[in-house]
């Protein structure tokens, strides 16, 4: 297990004390940037009281943490299946005809899956 993975797993076991607000950061961005997600989760834990905006933001951070951990578990349980899921998302993202645009949702999924796969890659 990598240090990044261990740190990320620790986030699931520490109750998130909600905090921090950054309207520019989206759920998709958090999912694609696990190291930033980890920092934001730690920031959310550090606050004693929250504004309504901070609470909403930290709830999004918490959801992203749970979803990333779920993907990590999926990857560890079935690495080949996870790799196939990445390929399928990339193919769907780029499959287009003259009348269609790339599938934005599948492109986002591919980016997230690749980010998660990168967590277990040596730096």
Which tens digit of pLDDT belongs to each residue from 26-84? Answer: 999 999 999 999 999 999 999 888 899 999 999 999 999 999 999 999 999 999 999 99
Confidence of residue 119 (pLDDT cuts 50, 70, 90): confident
Q: Using an 8 Å Cβ cutoff, are 36 and 70 in contact?
A: no
Q: Give the pLDDT band of residue 99 (cuts 50, 70, 90).
A: low
The span from the CA of 94 to the CA of 31, in Å, is 20
Instruction: Name which of 55, 58, 31 is nearest 116 in CA terms.
Output: 31
Rounded distance between C-alpha atoms, residue 60 and residue 3, angstroms: 24
* Higher per-residue confidence, 45 vs 12: 45
- How much is the pTM? 0.72
């Amino acid at each position: 297990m990598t240090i990044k993975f261990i740190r990320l797993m620790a986030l699931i076991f520490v109750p998130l004390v909600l905090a921090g607000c950054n309207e520019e950061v989206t759920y998709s961005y958090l999912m694609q940037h696990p190291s930033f997600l980890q920092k934001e989760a730690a920031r959310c834990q550090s606050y004693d009281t929250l504004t309504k905006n901070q609470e909403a933001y930290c709830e999004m951070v918490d959801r992203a943490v749970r979803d990333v951990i779920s993907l990590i578990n999926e990857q560890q349980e079935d690495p080949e299946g996870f790799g196939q899921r990445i390929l399928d998302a990339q193919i769907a993202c780029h499959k287009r005809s003259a009348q269609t645009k790339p599938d934005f949702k599948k492109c986002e999924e591919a980016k997230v899956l690749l980010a998660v796969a990168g967590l277990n890659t040596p730096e």
